[in-house]
Structure 1
Amino acid sequence: MTKTEKALEACEKVLDGIEENSISTSSALLQCLKISRLLNDYNAIVWFQYEYGGYPRTDDGKHIQSEAWNIAYKNGRGYIDEGNKVIFTELASELEEKIVAQHKAVNNFSTQGTAISGDYALGAVNNLTSAVARSTNGIVSNIALSEKRLSILKSRYYDYALKKQIEVAFGNVAESVFSEYRKKVENKFSDLSKDTILKLQAVEDKINSDNPELYSQALTTCRRLFENTSKELFEQYFPEYKDRMYKTKSGKEIDVSGDHFKNKLSAVIETLEGKSATKSIVGSNIIYLLDWIDNLNDLQCKGVHSDISKQDAMRCIIQTYICLGDILNLQSD
């Protein structure tokens, strides 16, 4: 069983357990800690560790440390008391034990079996009854407060498990869909030259690195991949074309000589779309992607956008894969 599968299993335990009231809040907390660990959710790990072991205090022991206090407040423990922001610090296990003890205490308060005689018997009974009532009411109020706080924590744990279940389930679906698409496209990539295939593999190697410099190289590789593809496909569909300019169906003339690979791609895509039974927007998607790559590289060169992030590189690679796949799929339509 993979970590993701174990995380999903833990999510189900929390959700089903809370919905069916078959799991304690403290047990749900431990399952949430397990989920966060399996999914490498660092912020949640810190939060659940505090929830389980207690929120750390300052050296003098009088206050909760600032960072820990903020985590507690934003995760449901905060409330307003006489105009001030405060938090409650009881752990789920402490609240559970407190509720059980308070229920037992309520049951122990009674005037039954009390025998009082004499001139002041009536007054004594009234005083005893009032004292029992006050104590009982106080305990009942404490029970209500403890149960409310425990419900808040339980709700937070439930929300976390539900959120992660949705994220993981959606991620699995998205990964499955993309894998299926990729499998179909890879069959088409085999029609390209070895040099183009090597560039595709180089892109994948770069995205798996933790070196920021390689993310920028990944964008450059994607661009060169389009250059290779446009050159190969243009030679395939326009083998005898020697003119410098190409007239599109709209009447616009574009330069397809030399390194004008965007225009070569446009000519190829227009030809493929003309043969396809279905309309597509492959051309506009590719031009948008190439312009985005060029703009990002220009900003980097000017120092406006000094670092290409891994997210930028991933977006570029995924879009490149989809766009190239769309081009190659058009050939079989």
Structure 2
Amino acid sequence: MNKKSLALKISEELLEEIEKLDDSIANILLKIKRMALLLGDADAQNWIDLELRGYPQKFYFESLGNCKKYAIQGGRINSETNKYYLQSLPEFEAQASLNNNILTNLKLPNSISPSVSSSNQYERPGDTISSTIKNTMKNYYQHLENTKTNTIFYIKIFNSIKGAIHNYVIDTYLALQFGDLNEKFFDENRTIVDTFIRTQCPKAVDQLLALNDAAQKNEVEYLSHAMTSIRRILLTIADYIFPPSNVDYLDKRGKKRKVGPEEYKNRLIAYFEINQSLASSPFYNTEIDLIASKIDFLYEKSCKGIHSDTSRSELNLIVIQTYLLIAEIALIEKDKTDKSKIAGIPDSDLT
């Protein structure tokens, strides 16, 4: 079982445990911290650790990162005043339990024994007894009211923070389920793409490996290598699906497009236009234009020695977009092959 699968299993168990609360909140928090560790969620690890041991006198909730919203949801912090409770969640649990026990066992005294002697010569014994009973009753009801107020407070804040923690576990559970679904979906389609590249465009394998090596290194010259690799991959794919020609391609708008060896973008657009009925998106030309323009932009930046976090993130995005474009082509080619098998048409006769 990999880390994400284990984290998903733990999140399912946690939802049931939090809702039933058969275990102590401290043990539940430790389990949540373990789940956050498996997911590499540093913000959650920090937040849960503070809920376990309490908050310092001086604390900036911005340090909780993405988990600050849960601290606000649970009432741990007042977002308007920035005031917050210092006690740990297990302390709130213990105090709520203690006050509840006190409240349960709080009773009027079985007997009241007032002093019948008084320094006041005018005070009668009956008055002393009556006064004592009144004071005892007053103290009892005051103590009862204070205990009720404290019990309600501790239970309220405990349940509120517990609810926020429950929200975090639900959000994590849903994200993991969605990720698991996406992973299965991408695995299935990755097999199709891998088969397409291996059998139809084996030259692209070395280019993809070169792209991967370049993309792993966060240096200016490697960004340039990565852009070159992407360009070569698209050229290789275009050579297979729409070989270069000296004859211009007339698109459906009546515009002539050059489709020579270097016009890979026009050849890709022509391919999608011809196979429009099999394509999943009608905006293929916009997508190809976007990828091509990004390649040119990042290549120019890298050649000028411009390097930043933005360049790195843009590179990651264009790698994903390029892969998705290849996936679209691979699915079209698979669909064509499947249809030819059903119809008994040789692959060589397909256009």
Q: What is the TM-score normalised by the length of structure 1?
A: 0.83
- 1:211 paired with 2:221, answer no
Structure 1's unaligned 5+ residue stretches are 57-63
Q: What are the superposed Cα offsets for residues 24-46 of structure 1, whole Å, 9 maximum, x if unpaired?
A: 33332222211111111011111
Aligned to 1:60: none
Q: What letter corresponds to residue 146 of structure 2 in structure 1?
A: G
2:205 and 2:81 map into 1 onto residues whose CA distance is: 63
Match of 1:269 among 268, 272, 296: 272
Q: Which moved more, 1:144-153 or 1:66-75?
A: 66-75
The 8 Å contact of residues 223 and 302 in structure 2, kept in 1 or not, is answered as no
Aligned to 1:323: 325
- 1:191 paired with 2:195, answer no
Cα displacement (A) at 1:84: 4.5
Change (3 A) 1:181 1:301: same
2:9 and 2:333 map into 1 onto residues whose CA distance is: 43
Q: What are the superposed Cα offsets for residues 205-240 of structure 1, whole Å, 9 maximum, x if unpaired?
A: 444x253544554343222210222234333xx6xx
Q: Which moved more, 1:150-159 or 1:285-294?
A: 285-294
Spell out structure 1 runs of 4+ moving beyond 6 A.
302-305
Aligned to 1:89: 86
How many residue pairs match? The answer is: 316
Q: What letter corresponds to residue 66 of structure 1 in structure 2?
A: F
Aligned residue for 1:190, secondary structure, equals: helix
Aligned to 1:39: 39
The 8 Å contact of residues 55 and 68 in structure 1, kept in 2 or not, is answered as no
The 8 Å contact of residues 272 and 331 in structure 1, kept in 2 or not, is answered as no
- 1:115 paired with 2:128, answer no
Q: What letter corresponds to residue 246 of structure 2 in structure 1?
A: K
Structure 1 or 2, whichever has the larger Rg, is: 2
1:174 and 1:73 map into 2 onto residues whose CA distance is: 28
Structure 2's unaligned 5+ residue stretches are 115-124, 337-351
Change (3 A) 1:191 1:141: same
Q: What are the superposed Cα offsets for residues 232-288 of structure 1, whole Å, 9 maximum, x if unpaired?
A: 4333xx6xx433x33223211112234222122233333444xx5677534442232
The 8 Å contact of residues 25 and 150 in structure 1, kept in 2 or not, is answered as no
Q: Which moved more, 1:165-174 or 1:276-285?
A: 276-285
Match of 1:173 among 156, 162, 181: 181
2:150 and 2:16 map into 1 onto residues whose CA distance is: 28
Aligned to 1:260: 263
Cα displacement (A) at 1:316: 1.8
2:77 and 2:309 map into 1 onto residues whose CA distance is: 39
1:104 and 1:331 map into 2 onto residues whose CA distance is: 72
Q: What are the superposed Cα offsets for residues 84-133 of structure 1, whole Å, 9 maximum, x if unpaired?
A: 44111111111121122222323443323113364211111011010011
2:330 and 2:103 map into 1 onto residues whose CA distance is: 76
1:115 and 1:104 map into 2 onto residues whose CA distance is: 24
Q: What are the superposed Cα offsets for residues 49-75 of structure 1, whole Å, 9 maximum, x if unpaired?
A: 11112223xxxxxxx233368649751
Change (3 A) 1:300 1:218: closer
2:280 and 2:6 map into 1 onto residues whose CA distance is: 44
The 8 Å contact of residues 300 and 306 in structure 1, kept in 2 or not, is answered as no
Change (3 A) 1:24 1:310: farther
Q: What letter corresponds to residue 228 of structure 1 in structure 2?
A: T
- 1:157 paired with 2:195, answer no
Cα displacement (A) at 1:200: 1.8
Q: What are the superposed Cα offsets for residues 161-197 of structure 1, whole Å, 9 maximum, x if unpaired?
A: 1111111111111111011011112221123343322
- 1:137 paired with 2:137, answer no
Q: What is the TM-score normalised by the length of structure 2?
A: 0.79
The 8 Å contact of residues 246 and 255 in structure 1, kept in 2 or not, is answered as yes
Change (3 A) 1:122 1:4: same
Aligned to 2:14: 14
2:58 and 2:285 map into 1 onto residues whose CA distance is: 56
- 1:251 paired with 2:250, answer no
1:88 and 1:277 map into 2 onto residues whose CA distance is: 60
